[in-house]
Structure 1
Amino acid sequence: MSAPHYSDLWQGIARAVPDRPAVITADGTTSWSRLHAEASALARHLRDDLGLGLGDAAATILYNRPEYLAFTWACLSIGVAPVAVNYRYRAGEVRALLVDSDCRVLVAPTSLGGVASEAADGLGTALVSVDDGGDEIPGAIAYRDLVARGGRMPATAPRGAELRLYTGGTTGAPKAVVWEVDTLLVARRQSTWGMIGVEPPETLSEAVSIAVSDDRRRVVTLPLSPLLHGTAQSTTTGTLAIGGTIVLHARPRMDMDEAYRLIREHGATRLIVAGDVLALPLAEAAERGDGLPGVDSIVSSGMRFSDDVKRRLHALGDLTIVDMFASSEGGPYAFGTTRSAADLPARLVLTPDAVLLDEDLREITIEPGALGLVGYRGILPRGYYGDPAKTAETFLAIRGHRYVVPGDWARARGDGTIELLGRLSAVVNTGGEKVFPAEVEAALLAHPDVDDAVVFGLPDPRFGEIVSAAVAPTPGAEIDVSRLLSFVDDRLAGYKKPRLVMVRASLERSGAGKVDLPRLKAEAAREREAATA
Structure 2
Amino acid sequence: MRDLFNFGQMLSAHARTAPERVGARDLDRAMSFRLWNERACRLANALLGLGLAKGDRVAILAYNCVEWCEIYAATAKAGLVALPINFRLTAPEVQFIVENADAAAMIVQDELTGLVEEARQDLGIPDDRFIHFGTKPRPAGYRGYEDIIAAAADREPGQQVALSDPWTLMYTSGTTGKPKGVLRSHRSAVLLSMVTEIELKLSRNDGALLVMPMCHANSLNFFGAFGYIGGVNSIYSRKSFDPEHAVTTLADGGSTFTSLVPTHYIMMLDLPRGLRAQHDFSAVTKLMISSAPARPETKREVMEMFPKSGLYELYGATETGWVTMLHPHEQFTKLGSVGRECVGAAPIRLLDEAGNEVPDGEAGELYSSNAHTFDCYWRLPEKTREAFRGDYCSVGDMARRDADGYIQLADRKSNMIISGGENIYPSEVEALVGAHPGVKDIAVIGLPDDKWGERVHAVIVPRDGMAVQESELVEWAKERLAGFKRPRSYAFITDAEMPRNATGKILHRELKKRFS
Q: Normalising by the residue count of structure 1, what TM-score does the alignment of the two structures yield? A: 0.74
Whole-Å separation in 2 of the counterparts to 1:241 and 1:299: 19
Q: Which residue of 1 aligns with 2:60?
A: 60
Whole-Å separation in 1 of the counterparts to 2:364 and 2:446: 31
Shift of 1:155: 4.5
Q: Which residue of 1 aligns with 2:393?
A: 404
Shift of 1:417: 0.9
Whole-Å separation in 2 of the counterparts to 1:258 and 1:25: 14
Structure 1 residues 225 and 245: alpha-carbon distance in aligned structure 2, compared to 1, 3 A threshold: same
Q: Which residue of 2 aligns with 1:377?
A: 369
Verify: 1:153 aligned to 2:159, yes or no: no
How many pairs were matched up?
437
Structure 1 residues 529 and 250: alpha-carbon distance in aligned structure 2, compared to 1, 3 A threshold: closer
Whole-Å separation in 1 of the counterparts to 2:11 and 2:406: 37
Structure 1 residues 303 and 358: alpha-carbon distance in aligned structure 2, compared to 1, 3 A threshold: closer
CA contact (8 A) 1:221 1:239 kept: yes
Aligned partner (choices 106, 122, 131) of residue 128 of structure 1: 131
Q: Which residue of 1 aligns with 2:143?
A: 141
Shift of 1:33: 1.5
CA contact (8 A) 1:117 1:137 kept: no
Q: Which residue of 2 aligns with 1:309?
A: 298
Q: Which residue of 1 aligns with 2:507?
A: none
Whole-Å separation in 2 of the counterparts to 1:320 and 1:12: 31
Flag structure 1 segments of 5+ consecutive residues without an equivalent. Answer: 198-215, 429-456, 471-506
Structure 1 residues 235 and 37: alpha-carbon distance in aligned structure 2, compared to 1, 3 A threshold: same
Q: Which residue of 2 aligns with 1:347?
A: 337
Instruction: Identify which range, 7-16 or 287-296, moves more after superposition.
Output: 287-296
CA contact (8 A) 2:174 2:180 kept: yes
Structure 1 residues 404 and 178: alpha-carbon distance in aligned structure 2, compared to 1, 3 A threshold: same
Whole-Å separation in 2 of the counterparts to 1:149 and 1:530: 53
Q: Which residue of 2 aligns with 1:280?
A: 266
Structure 1 residues 377 and 90: alpha-carbon distance in aligned structure 2, compared to 1, 3 A threshold: same
Verify: 1:323 aligned to 2:301, yes or no: no
CA contact (8 A) 1:7 1:157 kept: no
Verify: 1:393 aligned to 2:423, yes or no: no
Structure 1 residues 406 and 422: alpha-carbon distance in aligned structure 2, compared to 1, 3 A threshold: same
Q: Which residue of 1 aligns with 2:425?
A: none
Instruction: Identify which range, 75-84 or 312-321, moves more after superposition.
Output: 312-321
Q: Which residue of 2 aligns with 1:465?
A: 443
Whole-Å separation in 2 of the counterparts to 1:340 and 1:332: 18
Structure 1 residues 55 and 188: alpha-carbon distance in aligned structure 2, compared to 1, 3 A threshold: same
Instruction: Identify which range, 114-123 or 135-144, moves more after superposition.
Output: 114-123
CA distances 1:78-131 after superposition (whole Å, capped 9, x unpaired): 111101100111211111100111111111111112112224333242211111
Instruction: Identify which range, 348-357 or 375-384, moves more after superposition.
Output: 348-357
Q: Which residue of 1 aligns with 2:514?
A: none
Shift of 1:410: 2.3
Whole-Å separation in 1 of the counterparts to 2:169 and 2:441: 27
Equivalent AA in structure 2 for residue 154 of structure 1: P
Equivalent AA in structure 2 for residue 127 of structure 1: F
Q: Which residue of 1 aligns with 2:47?
A: 46
Q: Which residue of 2 aligns with 1:222?
A: 209
SS in 1 for 2:212: coil
Structure 1 residues 531 and 319: alpha-carbon distance in aligned structure 2, compared to 1, 3 A threshold: closer
CA contact (8 A) 1:41 1:150 kept: yes
Shift of 1:332: 2.6
Whole-Å separation in 1 of the counterparts to 2:332 and 2:458: 36
Shift of 1:347: 2.8
Whole-Å separation in 1 of the counterparts to 2:317 and 2:332: 28
Q: Which residue of 2 aligns with 1:34?
A: 35
Shift of 1:290: 1.6
Equivalent AA in structure 1 for residue 317 of structure 2: S
Aligned partner (choices 204, 210, 220) of residue 233 of structure 1: 220
SS in 2 for 1:52: coil
Structure 1 residues 526 and 55: alpha-carbon distance in aligned structure 2, compared to 1, 3 A threshold: same
CA contact (8 A) 1:348 1:419 kept: yes
SS in 1 for 2:327: strand
CA contact (8 A) 2:365 2:413 kept: no
Structure 1 residues 264 and 411: alpha-carbon distance in aligned structure 2, compared to 1, 3 A threshold: closer
SS in 1 for 2:113: helix
Whole-Å separation in 1 of the counterparts to 2:91 and 2:270: 35
Verify: 1:165 aligned to 2:173, yes or no: no
Structure 1 residues 281 and 339: alpha-carbon distance in aligned structure 2, compared to 1, 3 A threshold: farther
Equivalent AA in structure 2 for residue 147 of structure 1: I
CA contact (8 A) 1:220 1:268 kept: yes
CA contact (8 A) 2:442 2:458 kept: no
SS in 1 for 2:491: helix
Structure 1 residues 153 and 94: alpha-carbon distance in aligned structure 2, compared to 1, 3 A threshold: farther
Whole-Å separation in 2 of the counterparts to 1:249 and 1:87: 15
Shift of 1:299: 1.7
Shift of 1:20: 0.8
Whole-Å separation in 1 of the counterparts to 2:450 and 2:52: 52
Whole-Å separation in 1 of the counterparts to 2:297 and 2:279: 20
SS in 1 for 2:348: strand
CA contact (8 A) 1:192 1:241 kept: no
Structure 1 residues 217 and 42: alpha-carbon distance in aligned structure 2, compared to 1, 3 A threshold: closer
Equivalent AA in structure 2 for residue 128 of structure 1: I
Instruction: Identify which range, 174-183 or 279-288, moves more after superposition.
Output: 279-288
Whole-Å separation in 2 of the counterparts to 1:525 and 1:244: 50
Whole-Å separation in 1 of the counterparts to 2:328 and 2:246: 24
Q: Which residue of 1 aligns with 2:491?
A: 528
Q: Normalising by the residue count of structure 2, what TM-score does the alignment of the two structures yield? A: 0.76
Percent identical: 20
SS in 1 for 2:455: helix
Equivalent AA in structure 1 for residue 178 of structure 2: A
Whole-Å separation in 2 of the counterparts to 1:521 and 1:332: 30
Aligned partner (choices 441, 455, 463) of residue 518 of structure 1: 455
